[in-house]
Structure 1
Amino acid sequence: MAKPRSSPTDGQRVCPLSPERPSRAERRRQCSPSQEAQESWSSRCCQPTDAARRSGLPPEREHLVELITTVGWAVRRRSGRRRRRVAGCGEASGERCELSKRSFGPSRLVFPVLLGLLLAVCGGSVGTGSDGKFNGTINIASSTWTGYAIIYIANAKETWKSHGLDVKFSDVEDPNDRLIALTAGRLEGMASTVDAFARAQSNGVPAVEVFPIDASVGGDGILAKNTIKTVQDLKGQKVAVNQGSVSEWFLAQVLQKNGMSLGDVKEQNMKSGEAGAAFVAGQVDVAVTWEPWLSKAKARADGKVLVSSKEYPDLIMDSFAFRKDFVDKYPATVKEFMKAYYDAFDWFQKNTAEGLGIVAKATSETADDVKADLETLTLFDLKTGKTIMGTKSSPGKINDNVKAAGDFWKAQGKIDSPVKPADAVNADFINSL
């Protein structure tokens, strides 16, 4: 069963870089924190830690940090329900985290202001270096996702350390929390989907993608009853899809590539895992979902997988980004980090059995589960990564995805001005390897 990019359980929020986090099973649930939980999270995450004080955050500015995050939560509560890459409540739902329906929490007008204030008062990790080298701790984070296998292997095999890097990895399941932590200087780098980065970058998050990680090649898809034989047959049909999520993004792109748009279907807003379950139960005729629901579609006698990301490779893609100021100040460290990543990739190719065990431990799956998951993903090696990133004179596929995502989120009213691909992506590092 495919491991989801999961989310904290209801009422529990994962504080960036906090050792306290719910169990893996719990994090597969929809997260809609109570006010008490939100306020508790705000105070924990933005109260300056010892590390923050070492980085020079004045005590008199501590209250400002808490105020900024609390205001952010207040705006989020007024913005309506948060929808993330999850689907259904509970481990049986096979969910992964949905992106917020709104522009990553606070409104588009408030969010950039909050980001600027957070960056100004929180600061980053301590690190003095020369020749573009960073001597401090490089804090990175991701959600729990099989596609991040190489990061887990580099952590376990201490590949970062062998390259002279002090890397601290954290599971931060909610992409919103990772983006806030990145902007606040509490993370130097993070992994997420390209469409998610495009939305965040368009709203002022200072992230620069430096290498692609993986692409879904069968893990996402559209289920339909047998009488619907082609994508064109979806016209006028009710489609169960989580609006504002990667599932809606996938649906929109599939329709567009077949001469249609979201306006040609009747969207029925439903979390992706719930949509899959509803399809299998015969409650809906069309659903946009992911594994394990694609595999379970055969349980419905008159149902099938109409299309999957296997027919649309690279449409749903993960990448790794660093904070822009970190990229500008420490290019040598960014390059060394990437060397370590691809060394870990090469190690995995030669030590697959051991590597599967490492990833299984990191994702709380069995090695067989991980192996099955990887069959619906493409992990990009260095050569493929260079092709996807392209060059300044000849941009690669990732630039197309950034532009398509930006145009999509603008059309959906989630952003005002799409980020330029040239500002979102920096291919210089991977091409220097």
Structure 2
Amino acid sequence: MKLRILAISIAIFMLIAAGCSNSSNEGAKDKDGGNANGDTQTIKVAVQPWVGNGPFWIAEEKGIDEKHGIKIETVPFEQDSDMNAAFASDKVDVANLATHTTIRMKSNQDLDMKAIIFMDESHDADAILATKDIQSVKDFKGQKVAFEEGATSELLLQQALSEEGMTLDDVETVFMPAPQAGLSMISSDVKTAVTYAPYIKEVLDKKKDEGVHLLYTGNNSPGLISDIVVGKTKFFEDNPEAKESLRAVWDEALQYWRDHEEEGNEIVAKGSGITADELPSILSGLKFYNSEEQSEKVSSGELRKAAENIQKLMLEGGSMKNEINLDEIFDME
């Protein structure tokens, strides 16, 4: 009986020792950033059907993420509000947000977060369209203007108006999603609308003969419309390698797209819900940034200047409660 008890005791001791040994190795990182047993960290990335997210879709498709010790899981959302809520409540780890959205969330919700990648900047991919009888922003006064409230469209409109000493109070606002804003131009319900690609081309193709034209675009205010990768500060503190891994994945996937344009376009078109034929016209209005290009934008002060302007517009428009310290959210050098 005593021998049996002794044998059981020894067996239990050996099991505990083995468990402790495994625990001591759990989470150990290999040279590529994964676990010693080959596991990789899954990072949930909130995205919308927008081509600016292209490099992350390519990374998923081609396994570029796992080369850098992480597994990217893109989580799709249709509406800004749903994606923002998921990020704020930690349903996702990081989110690909518009720069102005990030600044507003910091002000209104006091989220402790860091922007780590400057993804892209809109040039002609966001625009204000107008009928032939409206030839300047001053002509907007008293007119119906269709745009999506709280989105990049509103920011672009605010910028255009502010340059003429005007505000949203000078126009008759018609709130609707950006795709519907474009359709409202096609149906002649409004004379002015703010939308983005590919809806810009759709409106111009159908209404150009009637004099509908581009009146103001992101090119008129560089850096105003841009996208960034944002994560909670605590997430990066708990996962110290995630920041550099995400940057490395972004850079390699973006370069893969540049080197394999046709294949990359197919992947990105699928992710954004359009055809590959529609993509070139959208991409012509966008500029993507890798880490080196991003660093130049930061060191030159361009990013800071654009962020200050964005904050000013939102404070004036009332969509932000309080001014924030912009240095607290940008971590891109």
Tell whether the structures are fold-level matches, with TM greater than 0.5. Answer: yes
Cα 1:373–1:172, aligned 2, differ >3 Å: closer, same or farther?
same
Please name the residue that 2:231 is paired with.
Answer: 322
Q: CA deviation at 1:128?
A: 5.3
Please name the residue that 1:71 is paired with.
Answer: none
Cα 1:248–1:153, aligned 2, differ >3 Å: closer, same or farther?
same
Cα 1:129–1:324, aligned 2, differ >3 Å: closer, same or farther?
farther
- The residue type equivalent to 2:143 in the other structure is Q
- The residue type equivalent to 1:201 in the other structure is K
Distance 2:133 2:196 in 1: 21
CA RMSD of aligned residues (A): 2.7
Cα 1:129–1:193, aligned 2, differ >3 Å: closer, same or farther?
farther
Cα 1:273–1:365, aligned 2, differ >3 Å: closer, same or farther?
closer
Q: CA deviation at 1:318?
A: 0.8
Cα 1:284–1:362, aligned 2, differ >3 Å: closer, same or farther?
closer
Please name the residue that 2:171 is paired with.
Answer: 265
Q: What does the per-residue CA deviation read over 1:78-99, in whole Å, with 9 as the maximum and x for residues that have no partner?
A: xxxxxxxxxxxxxxxxxxxxxx
Please name the residue that 2:190 is paired with.
Answer: 284
Q: Contact conserved, 1:406 with 1:418, CA < 8 A, in 2?
A: yes
Cα 1:144–1:298, aligned 2, differ >3 Å: closer, same or farther?
closer
| TM-score (ref. length: structure 1) | 0.62
Distance 1:368 1:167 in 2: 27
Query: Which secondary structure state, in structure 2, belongs to the residue aligned with residue 367 of structure 1?
Result: coil
- Trace 1:37-116 onto structure 2 (pairs within 5 A): none
Query: Which secondary structure state, in structure 1, belongs to the residue aligned with residue 124 of structure 2?
Result: coil
Q: CA deviation at 1:164?
A: 1.7
Highest RCO, 1 vs 2 (Cα 8 Å, sep ≥ 6): 2
Cα 1:128–1:400, aligned 2, differ >3 Å: closer, same or farther?
farther
Aligned length: 297
Distance 1:259 1:293 in 2: 28
Q: CA deviation at 1:298?
A: 5.1
Query: Which secondary structure state, in structure 1, belongs to the residue aligned with residue 278 of structure 2?
Result: helix
Cα 1:361–1:285, aligned 2, differ >3 Å: closer, same or farther?
closer
Distance 1:177 1:269 in 2: 18
Instruction: State yes or no: 1:168 paired with 2:73.
Output: yes
Cα 1:403–1:277, aligned 2, differ >3 Å: closer, same or farther?
same
Listed as ranges, the gaps of 5+ residues in structure 2 are: 1-25, 36-40
Instruction: State yes or no: 1:220 paired with 2:129.
Output: no
Please name the residue that 1:200 is paired with.
Answer: 105
Q: Contact conserved, 1:240 with 1:269, CA < 8 A, in 2?
A: yes
Query: Which secondary structure state, in structure 1, belongs to the residue aligned with residue 219 of structure 2?
Result: coil
Query: Which secondary structure state, in structure 2, belongs to the residue aligned with residue 407 of structure 1?
Result: helix
Q: Contact conserved, 2:114 with 2:231, CA < 8 A, in 1?
A: yes
Instruction: State yes or no: 1:299 paired with 2:232.
Output: no
Please name the residue that 2:293 is paired with.
Answer: 384
Higher strand share: 2
Query: Which secondary structure state, in structure 2, belongs to the residue aligned with residue 283 of structure 1?
Result: coil
Listed as ranges, the gaps of 5+ residues in structure 1 are: 1-126, 429-433
Query: Which secondary structure state, in structure 2, belongs to the residue aligned with residue 418 of structure 1?
Result: coil
| TM-score (ref. length: structure 2) | 0.79
Query: Which secondary structure state, in structure 2, belongs to the residue aligned with residue 191 of structure 1?
Result: strand
Q: Contact conserved, 1:220 with 1:291, CA < 8 A, in 2?
A: yes
Cα 1:324–1:129, aligned 2, differ >3 Å: closer, same or farther?
farther
Distance 1:298 1:237 in 2: 23
Distance 2:89 2:147 in 1: 33
Distance 1:292 1:153 in 2: 21
Q: What does the per-residue CA deviation read over 1:343-363, in whole Å, with 9 as the maximum and x for residues that have no partner?
A: 111122111111112222323
Q: Contact conserved, 1:241 with 1:269, CA < 8 A, in 2?
A: yes
Instruction: State yes or no: 1:252 paired with 2:158.
Output: yes
Q: Contact conserved, 1:242 with 1:269, CA < 8 A, in 2?
A: yes
Q: Contact conserved, 2:142 with 2:171, CA < 8 A, in 1?
A: yes
Among 341, 345, 350, which residue is 2:250 paired with? 341
- Higher-Rg structure is 2
Distance 1:186 1:134 in 2: 23
Q: Contact conserved, 1:183 with 1:206, CA < 8 A, in 2?
A: no
Cα 1:426–1:267, aligned 2, differ >3 Å: closer, same or farther?
same
Distance 2:70 2:175 in 1: 45
Instruction: State yes or no: 1:405 paired with 2:303.
Output: no
Identity among equivalent positions (%) equals 24
Cα 1:179–1:283, aligned 2, differ >3 Å: closer, same or farther?
closer
Farther-moved stretch of structure 1 (259-268 vs 419-428): 259-268
Farther-moved stretch of structure 1 (311-320 vs 238-247): 238-247
Q: CA deviation at 1:422?
A: 0.7
